[in-house]
Amino acid sequence: MDKNTIQEQLKEIIAVYVPDKEILGKLTLEHDLINDLKINSAHIVDIVLDVEEKYDIMIEDDAIMEMLKYNGPVIFDCLVEKHENCFPMIPSGKAHNEMLLGDTAITGAIDAAGSVLV
C-alpha cells in the first residue's frame, strides 16, 4: 500500500469528525487534527479506534490497558492545552448539574471562588 492510498483512507476516516468539509480537499500530512481541522479533542480516541479497526492494528498504550483490566475506579491524569475546552465540563467550584455541554456558555462560567481552584 502506497503513501497516497493510506492518506486517502485516513482522510475518509477523519472526514466524519471534521466540521468544515471544505478543508478536506486541501488536507496535507502537516495538518493538525485539533488546531487546523477543528476536530473536537473528544473524537481523537474515536479516530484512533477507527484506524486500529481499518488496518487491523493495535496501538499500544500500557496505561490504558492497565485501566481497562482494573476492576474498579481509576484516576486518569490528563494534561490539556490551557485554552482548550473539553466538553462536557464541570467548571471549577460548580456542581455537576451546572455542567457545560459546549463552548456556547463558557464566558463567565468560572466565578472568582472557582478560579482559585484552577
Q: How many CB atoms lie within 10 A of CB 90?
A: 14
CATH entry 1.20.1380 includes domain 3-69: no
Q: Pick the closest to residue 116 from 95, 93, 100 (CA basis).
A: 93
pTM of the model: 0.48
What does the alpha-carbon distance between residue 46 and residue 89 come to, in Å, rounded to a whole number?
19
Partners of 100 in beta bridges: 89
pLDDT of residue 109: 61
What does the alpha-carbon distance between residue 23 and residue 109 come to, in Å, rounded to a whole number?
32
- State pLDDT tens for residues 53-65: 888 876 667 766 7
> Structural domain boundaries of the chain?
3-69, 85-118
- State pLDDT tens for residues 71-118: 776 666 655 665 565 666 777 777 877 777 765 555 666 666 666 655
